Amino acid sequence: MEKQDLQQLKAEFVDTRNFLLALGDEKRQLIIMTLLEQESCDGLRVIDLTEITQLSRPAVSHHLNILKQANIVSIRSEGTKNYYYFSNMIDNVKDMKKLIDHLLALLETKEENK
C-alpha cells in the first residue's frame, strides 16, 4: 500500500468524520428515518420529534444540533416556530461513498497480495 493512498484515505476520513459520527447514533438514525417518512418537505418541529422518538426536548435539540453541524438537517423559522428538514446532504453521501470505495479497493489489493 502506497503512502499516498494512506494519506488520501486519512483525508477522506477527516472529510466524512462529522457525517459518520452523526449517522452513528441510534437516536439520530431515528430522527433521520422520521424525516424521511414525511410526505411533506416542510419539516418537523422539536415537539413533533419528541412525540415520535420519546426523547426529551433537550435531547432532541441536542441531536438536531449535531445533525445540523453535519449538514444533514437545516432549520427554517416561521415566527417563533422552527422546522427541521433535510439539507442537501448528497455531497456528504458521495464523500462517504468515495471513502468506502477507496477503502474497499485498498483492502482488496491487500488481500490479493497475501
CATH of the domain at 1: 1.10.10.10
* Res. 1: pLDDT tops 80: no
Whole-angstrom Cα distance, residue 8 to residue 25? 26
Domain count, the chain: 1
Which is more confidently placed, 37 or 62?
A: 62
CA-based R_g, the chain, Å:
18
- Collect all residues with Cβ–Cβ distance below 8 Å to 30 and sequence separation of at least 6: 52, 53
Domain that holds residue 42: 1-107
pTM, to two decimals: 0.82
Residue-wise pLDDT for 69-90, tens only, equals 999 999 999 999 999 998 878 8
Average pLDDT score over the chain: 91
In the chain, what percentage of residues exceed pLDDT 70?
Answer: 99
Residue-wise pLDDT for 15-27, tens only, equals 999 999 999 999 9
